[in-house]
Structure 1
């Protein structure tokens, strides 16, 4: 039986609940400041990754619809990386009330049921949450949080700022409206964190917050730096078939001397399947491996010869910022899904260090001076 690896250390001043916990990358990312009191996910295969790295004590494998908020402990933070299928531009965009993405309302239902409610909430999803239909889905969520006594803002963080993967994600951060936010954490208007899609979605919203954080230093890694060069490539026939899918202009660029590796996805263009590559030193956004077009290909030059293969599981983990010590039990598809349906570690860590931990500090100071002396009781 695996040990409970999630023992609190002396540096962890704050606690959090995690919904849709998946493979545990958020718990790993936040562990410098927050320890997990309780976590939930429905997928046993992702849970095996979580347990392998964090232990079994705090993870509850069940449908979120069965979770009762009145039995959950108080924490400083509640985090929900709720399903993106109905908000993704690659999906059917059924919206925030559809079957999968609509599970965010179960998260809020649990919050409503809690006796002592967390003062900080984070909801993470794809950029479609703010970009689709001029942000209508975000505005619905914003109003729901505002009605619960929160002031709220959204930011977009791209994992490409830290790791060689293009992975923009929306983080909705809500804090109790009666807390005084330190001036360095907010701005009078948009910053690098709020592109035009967020600005449009935020127009005329009540209790909107322009969150502010320092821009991180330039990324140090490119795709070439995270590769497992000894990983086996496709056989000659598969390689030939894969190379034939590359558009002519992409092949011309691939043959230039400065290109050693390029990543790409299969797509259908004008009724024909092609393998579109990118040459900016980063991989495309990882997806869950539901079909052949969801797996990312690599084209490499090895001793002047073009080779092709899929990303390895360890490479997907590195693209998510997970250390090589992070365990990935199960099949290839299990590992790919665990990483492709997760939050990049350095992104969540940045948010925790620059915003969430400071906000939790403000809350603890508030408790010391509040007349009631009580936590947030609903």
Structure 2
């Protein structure tokens, strides 16, 4: 749980664009924010969102394409706008159409609404997306995003945060933090949050950027997936039958087979995750060597889903990862899954941002920025007066 101290007794209000199933909301509200409005176009995600948060007269959810959202729908007096915009056209798994793509291009409607808010736009705006944004079209898409924020009066900081610092899942993401009143710039040659492949942004004199002084983040986890595995007896029918398990083992490369054979023959129980890949036109399984999950993806097909492999004491069992395990790997272990089908839940979690990554950013950057607690930075007048 983050610092829930509020400004003048009021929790800063948030606009949550591309809300999905609400994991950004969970992270922000754990740190003291109040999400007042949200939008997403998928009914299945809203169904899960409603089951998790319930209904409130102080919160509204706009269901539908963001292109149809009018500025008059947005509440006044918000401090933060958060956007986890679609990454399909920016990720390696997508077509790399970038911000010109039909899905990732919805970012421009987010910018449109901020522009239409005028003087009432939030003091801070955050864009969260895949790290592929930094290289999309040779960096041009990232430049376009920063310029769009600049045109609205925001200076921009760019951070790379892997959810693996908080949960046993490899999930690197890019965060653009736009600030109307940025903190004093703290130049640095590099840092864990601003690696070499981001540094070029700060050297572009045509962009308005800043680098806030932030604490050292937690080190990336090297294990822990096994601790999140859902308890399940060896006789549970979710474990694959002998024929399917043999097919799994038969698809492994000699190197992979040698690795899991050693684990299978070892004492005690170990867990690993596995992805189905296509190599030279043939579907094969690849098992991770460590006790960390691969990046969760939207479950559009078999290759997008992860399997759990249980090894040790001479036994090997395989099954699909469960929705509860997806939730735990996103830092939302107690998420209400009562209204979700299995595929619906996997899609929702695979298309979201990890809760503890949001909370860390909120605790160490967003709240201090809104309160003006960075050295050399004053709170905006409308917040000082609250």
Tell me if TM exceeds 0.5.
yes
Residue in 2 that maps onto 1:343: 353
Residue 124 (1) aligns with residue 128 (2): yes
Residue in 2 that maps onto 1:300: 310
Distance 1:298 1:324 in 2: 20
Is the 1:134–1:201 contact (alpha carbons within 8 Å) kept by the matching residues of 2? no
Residue in 2 that maps onto 1:3: none
Residue in 2 that maps onto 1:87: 90
1:249-328 aligned at under 5 Å gives the runs: 249-257=255-263, 260-301=270-311, 303-327=313-337
Secondary structure at the aligned position of 1:36 is classed as strand
1:206-285 aligned at under 5 Å gives the runs: 206-218=207-219, 219=221, 222-230=224-232, 232-257=238-263, 260-285=270-295
Is the 1:135–1:197 contact (alpha carbons within 8 Å) kept by the matching residues of 2? no
Over 3 Å counting, the alpha-carbon distance change for 1:352 and 1:309 in structure 2 is same
Secondary structure at the aligned position of 1:26 is classed as helix
Q: Which moved more, 1:90-99 or 1:70-79?
A: 70-79
Residue in 2 that maps onto 1:5: none
Q: Which moved more, 1:324-333 or 1:291-300?
A: 324-333
Q: Which moved more, 1:340-349 or 1:299-308?
A: 299-308
Q: Unmatched 5+ residue regions in structure 2?
A: 1-5
Is the 2:256–2:287 contact (alpha carbons within 8 Å) kept by the matching residues of 1? yes
Over 3 Å counting, the alpha-carbon distance change for 1:364 and 1:75 in structure 2 is farther
Secondary structure at the aligned position of 1:256 is classed as helix
Residue 76 (1) aligns with residue 76 (2): no
Q: What CA RMSD, in Å, does the superposition of the two structures yield over aligned residues?
A: 2.4
Over 3 Å counting, the alpha-carbon distance change for 1:193 and 1:9 in structure 2 is closer
Partner deviation per Cα, 1:198-251 (whole Å, 9 max, x = no partner): 123444142112234222334486111100130631111111111211211112
Equivalences, count: 361
Over 3 Å counting, the alpha-carbon distance change for 1:294 and 1:106 in structure 2 is same
Is the 1:15–1:37 contact (alpha carbons within 8 Å) kept by the matching residues of 2? yes
Over 3 Å counting, the alpha-carbon distance change for 1:11 and 1:346 in structure 2 is farther
1:88-237 aligned at under 5 Å gives the runs: 88-115=91-118, 116-176=120-180, 179=181, 181=183, 186-205=186-205, 206-218=207-219, 219=221, 222-230=224-232, 232-237=238-243
Is the 1:320–1:343 contact (alpha carbons within 8 Å) kept by the matching residues of 2? yes
Distance 1:30 1:248 in 2: 46
Secondary structure at the aligned position of 1:111 is classed as helix
Distance 1:330 1:319 in 2: 17
Over 3 Å counting, the alpha-carbon distance change for 1:196 and 1:188 in structure 2 is closer
Over 3 Å counting, the alpha-carbon distance change for 1:30 and 1:221 in structure 2 is farther
Over 3 Å counting, the alpha-carbon distance change for 1:256 and 1:189 in structure 2 is same
Partner deviation per Cα, 1:129-159 (whole Å, 9 max, x = no partner): 0023432110011111111111101111001
Is the 1:262–1:278 contact (alpha carbons within 8 Å) kept by the matching residues of 2? yes
Is the 2:327–2:335 contact (alpha carbons within 8 Å) kept by the matching residues of 1? no
Secondary structure at the aligned position of 1:157 is classed as strand
Secondary structure at the aligned position of 1:365 is classed as coil
Secondary structure at the aligned position of 1:280 is classed as coil
Q: CA deviation at 1:325?
A: 4.7
Secondary structure at the aligned position of 1:216 is classed as coil
Over 3 Å counting, the alpha-carbon distance change for 1:71 and 1:368 in structure 2 is closer
Q: Unmatched 5+ residue regions in structure 1?
A: 1-7
Q: Which moved more, 1:195-204 or 1:333-342?
A: 195-204
Is the 2:156–2:179 contact (alpha carbons within 8 Å) kept by the matching residues of 1? yes
Q: Which moved more, 1:239-248 or 1:165-174?
A: 239-248
Distance 1:46 1:350 in 2: 24
Residue 331 (1) aligns with residue 341 (2): yes
TM-score (norm 1): 0.89
Q: CA deviation at 1:34?
A: 0.5
Over 3 Å counting, the alpha-carbon distance change for 1:161 and 1:328 in structure 2 is farther
